[in-house]
Amino acid sequence: MAKRANSSKAGASGLPLGPDSRIVLLTGKEHFLRSGYTDQLREMLNESEGGEVEVVRFDGDSTPAAEVLDECRSFGLMVTHKMVVVDEADRLLNESSRPAFERYAEQPADTATLVLRAEKWNKGKLDKLIEKCGTIIKCDQIPPERAVSWCGGRANKRGASMQARAAQLLVERVGPDLGRLASEIDKLISAAAADGTDPITITEGHVREFVGLSREEQVWTIQEVLLTGRADAAIAMLHELVEVSRVSEVLIRFAYVDLARKLHGYARGIASGVPAQQLNKSLRLWGASAGSVARAAQSANPSALARLFDEAVEADFRGKTSQGDAVLALEALSVRFAQVLRARR
C-alpha cells in the first residue's frame, strides 16, 4: 500500500484518492461531487489494473450489511479488482452493523475498493479506521462566490470561455448546485457555438435568453425593484408575480420581509463598526445585490429602516392570519419601501 500522504482534495483526509484506497467515504449534499469523485476513482482503478474494473452497486437503504461485505471479500470471475459502491451508506451503517464494517476496515480486501456515499454521516471509530486504509472526502455544497469561479473552469474544460458577469448571473438564477450548473453550462456552450464566434464565449445575453427563472425564483426579482425606490415599478412587478406567474403570496411576503431584514441589519452593522465584508457574509449578500443593499442601507435613515422591518413583519403576520386583502397590503408596503429608500439621512 502507498505511503500515507496528504490528499490533494479540499476537505479530504486519509490517503490521496486513488487505487491504494481500500475504502473511500464521500459525504455531503453535493451529489455532483460525490458522482464526480466516484468516476475519477473508477478511472484511476482502470488505469492501475490495466483494464475495466467491475463495479457493483448497492442501495444502503435496502441491502443487508453482510451482502455488501461478502461482495468485497469475494473474488471476481472475470476481473482481478472490483469497486463496490454503496449509496445511502448512513442508513446501512447502524448500531448493529457498524462493528462489522469496523472489523472489515481493520483488514480490508486487497481485491476490492469499497465506496460509501451519503448526504449525512455520523462520525465515529470507523472514520479513523478508514483514514488508515483509504480516503474521506467531504462533498458539501460550495458557496455562491466559489460557484461563480467553478462555472468559468467548467466552461474552459469544455473548450469555451465564460464572461464573469455571465457566470454570476447564472449562479443567481440557478443557485450553487453544481449538477444544475453543469447542465446549464453545457446548454449555453451549444447556444454560444451557434453564434459562430471563435473562441466560443458564453455571455450575459446567453444566460438571460436561455436560462429562465422558475416561478419560485422569479419572486426574488421583486427585491431588485424595491431597492430602486420606485413604488410604481414595485407594484407592477407585484401584480405580474401574482396574476401572471401565479407566485404564492406567502413567498412574496417573505421576499419583502427578507429585504427589510437585510437593510435593517446592514444599517445596524455599519453603525456598530462591523466591516462590510463581514456584514455581507452574515446577511448572505453577494454579487450585485450586495452593493445595492449596502448603498440603500447607508443612504436611508436607520430608524426608518427599523420601522420598515417592523411593518414588513406585521404585514406578513396579517397575511398569515387572513386579516385584510393580501395584495393591497403588499401594495402599501411597496409604497413604504419607496418612501424610506428615496428619503435621505
pLDDT digits (tens, 9 = 90+) for 57-102: 999 989 999 999 999 998 766 667 899 999 999 999 988 999 999 9
Average pLDDT over residues 314-322: 90
CA distances from 21 to 112, 126, 232, 243 (A): 9, 15, 62, 57
- 3: number of Cβ within 10 Å: 6
CB 4 within 8 A of CB 122: no
Residue where the block lists cell 392570519 = 321
Strand partners, 58: 86
The three cell numbers of residue 31 are: 451529489
Average pLDDT over residues 193-209: 89
Sign of torsion over alpha carbons 138, 143, 146, 147: positive
CB 111 within 8 A of CB 75: yes
Q: What is the pLDDT of residue 77?
A: 62
User: Which domains does the chain possess?
Assistant: 12-138 (3.40.50.300), 144-210 (1.10.8.60), 215-342 (1.20.272.10)
Strand partners, 86: 58, 116
Q: What is the pLDDT of residue 268?
A: 92
pLDDT at 288 over 70: no
Cβ partners under 8 Å of residue 121, min gap 6: 25, 27, 89, 90
* Whole-model pTM over 0.75: no
pLDDT digits (tens, 9 = 90+) for 121-153: 989 999 999 999 999 999 998 888 899 999 999
The runs of H, that is alpha helices, within 50-143 are 65-73, 89-92, 98-106, 125-133
